[in-house]
Structure 1
């Protein structure tokens, strides 16, 4: 079976960021599918390459977290048109797998179905247009209505819909109650990430001996509310808490503002590290005790399925989140961390002191995190389920093969 997989932000371990589309595409290849993946890169030229059997088309469409609203819209539209143009050159397509955001990739899928009778599966990573509407980014009511109708039509025409969280699945079910929604959260790579003994040094200049390290990694944008972690660091420094250290790893359009706030507070207990590859991230996690999963306080963000959370579980680290919703419920149900109110920085210090004071309690929470990854979100389990969604005939003999090259 030949599948065209469309995702604007395909990333490998070397690129850093979410590796979900790599995991899923690789599982299809391992099970005999012919996979052509269409994505983009910040280059002026088209590039074609093969990555572990995945035929990858890189379209010259720039995108960066520093972009403003209109630049992002232009990037989305440009990718949509170029992806559709490219698919017209690909012959013998049996099916299409389309991953949003942005929602506009669904237009490419609709055109393929209408013009060439190619069915498509639609993956919903974030709720559009609900997210930008709640965040106040899309204010025009006519545009809101148009995008909501487009969302509805994309759902209606899809062969199947894949949601990354229960909240996303519930929203889609309300839009198209007669459709079957598959829940397929983000993936914990329990081979690449391991629960290991904590290391002491990240670099020769950064010694974490006798320090409890809390790390945030990922995008640093409006929806991530990293100012809340700066307030925690400030509260810790004012309390003369010498044992806590904070790391912020990543990039985004709010990075400068977050760094400015840390400088304003004259914080000496926090370190900023630029965007890194997955390999480098693994080294950073290995000096980390707890990972901070942060979002701004909007209801739609409570439905998120952040890849950083699933990497944290696989690494066997204490999980801290400042957003209520299904992630907070999982953390507390499986006793692998805790929720904190983002407006009360002292709350994190109070709760984390419990784990800092008792290594056995910390070890148990970290063990629980790893166990949750292995039993519910492992790459082997979720990629098998994914392949069976696309081809139910493989339900009894799905192969899962992946090799991590270090």
Structure 2
């Protein structure tokens, strides 16, 4: 059976970024499926308009469509539309496809799957990583009344035409059901921990030196996207209360539209214990996270963002770190129920500063929370568990199609 997997931001462990589609593809291949990934060559690394290569058993088709988190709204929209058009053409021309998996965002990723169903009768599974268009609507990026109506209509159309829908959080699951979609058609499979990649081990002292960090400091890490949705001004406002703590260091890894602004803000406020390190492949990222004592997962205080299923949360659990979250949704319930971190008031940066100091001054509590994080990752959220759940859904689809 051949699966065409459409993911505009497909990433492997050798690159920086989320790798969910890579691990799911590996599980599908282990079950005998042939997987062709259709993705964007965002940085023009292949040097071609269209390039095909094999990546760890996955046949990847890269379309040269530039994209960066530092792009403005119109630039991003143009990138989404270009990939939508080109991937639709590929989806229609690809032979012997038995199932399409389309994973958002953006919502336009579902267009080629929908067209292929209408023209060729190919069923598709739609994966909801964010509730578009509600996210850009609440963030003020989709203000045109008619554009909103079209986007909402298209969202409903994708849900109704998909053979199955996978949502990445309870909030996303509920968001799909609100469109009168039958419960048996929707599964909730969150983002994944990678317990074989992020785990506790002795800290690499040579790495500490290379990064120009202090060996004995209390290190707080944020890793992942630095976009408007991540609300990282909140972190910097908290750091203002901790900038004189020579025993604390704050590490930021990743990139995005607000990275430059955040750096400038730290400079202007005289925050010298914050370090922006850039992006790293998974293995190096894991080594740096292992140096740290606490992980931060923040979002802007916008209701729809409380439905997020952030990669950095699950990797932090796997790494055995206490996690501080500021979204009043399921992540708050998670860290409080399992005693693996704290929820902080998203409107009160001082609350974040106090919690960081508390964990610094209470190493026994920090250690307990870290152990609980690791246990949760191992028993509930590891990719070995969740990739099987996803592949089981695919098996079920083919069983029902026979």
Q: What range describes the TM-score normalised by the shorter chain of this pair?
A: over 0.9
2:338 matched residue in structure 1: 334
1:294 paired to 2:298? yes
1:402 matched residue in structure 2: none
User: 1:50: Cα distance to partner?
Assistant: 0.8
2:8 matched residue in structure 1: 8
2:36 matched residue in structure 1: 36
1:212 paired to 2:218? yes
- Cα shift readout 1:342-397 (whole Å, capped 9, x = no counterpart): 332222232233322232222111010010011111111101111110013999xx
Please show how residues 189-200 of structure 1 align to structure 2 within 5 Å. 189-200=194-205
- Cα shift readout 1:73-107 (whole Å, capped 9, x = no counterpart): 11111111111111233211111100011111111
Residues 318 and 87 of structure 1, relative CA distance in 2, 3 Å threshold: same
1:349 matched residue in structure 2: 353
1:273 paired to 2:280? no
1:96 paired to 2:92? no
Residues 161 and 205 of structure 1, relative CA distance in 2, 3 Å threshold: closer
- Cα shift readout 1:93-149 (whole Å, capped 9, x = no counterpart): 111100011111111111100100000000000011100000001101111011100
The runs of at least 4 aligned residues of structure 1 exceeding 3 Å deviation read: 197-201
> What is the rounded CA distance, in whole Å, between the counterparts of 2:375 and 2:211 in structure 1?
33
> What is the rounded CA distance, in whole Å, between the counterparts of 2:359 and 2:239 in structure 1?
17
User: 1:177: Cα distance to partner?
Assistant: 3.3
- TM-score, normalised to structure 2, is 0.94
Stretches of structure 1 that go unaligned for 5 or more consecutive residues are 396-406
- Cα shift readout 1:291-337 (whole Å, capped 9, x = no counterpart): 11011010110000010111111111110112211011101110111
SS of the residue corresponding to residue 92 of structure 1 reads coil
2:235 matched residue in structure 1: 229
> What is the rounded CA distance, in whole Å, between the counterparts of 1:318 and 1:185 in structure 2?
19
1:119 paired to 2:116? no
1:403 matched residue in structure 2: none
Please show how residues 132-143 of structure 1 align to structure 2 within 5 Å. 132-143=136-147
> What is the rounded CA distance, in whole Å, between the counterparts of 1:246 and 1:113 in structure 2?
48
How many aligned residue pairs are there? 393
User: 1:199: Cα distance to partner?
Assistant: 4.2
1:404 matched residue in structure 2: none
SS of the residue corresponding to residue 171 of structure 1 reads helix
> What is the rounded CA distance, in whole Å, between the counterparts of 2:16 and 2:210 in structure 1?
23
1:23 matched residue in structure 2: 23
> What is the rounded CA distance, in whole Å, between the counterparts of 2:272 and 2:209 in structure 1?
17
Bigger mean CA offset, 37-46 vs 18-27: 37-46
Matched-pair contact (CA < 8 Å) for 1:387–1:394: no
User: 1:283: Cα distance to partner?
Assistant: 1.6
2:75 matched residue in structure 1: 71
> What is the rounded CA distance, in whole Å, between the counterparts of 1:32 and 1:262 in structure 2?
51
> What is the rounded CA distance, in whole Å, between the counterparts of 1:78 and 1:114 in structure 2?
21
> What is the rounded CA distance, in whole Å, between the counterparts of 1:374 and 1:390 in structure 2?
24
1:257 equivalent among 252, 257, 261: 261
Stretches of structure 2 that go unaligned for 5 or more consecutive residues are none
> What is the rounded CA distance, in whole Å, between the counterparts of 2:71 and 2:246 in structure 1?
38
User: 1:10: Cα distance to partner?
Assistant: 0.3
> What is the rounded CA distance, in whole Å, between the counterparts of 1:203 and 1:301 in structure 2?
37
- TM-score, normalised to structure 1, is 0.94
Please show how residues 54-203 of structure 1 align to structure 2 within 5 Å. 54-179=58-183, 180-200=185-205, 201-203=207-209
User: 1:3: Cα distance to partner?
Assistant: 0.6
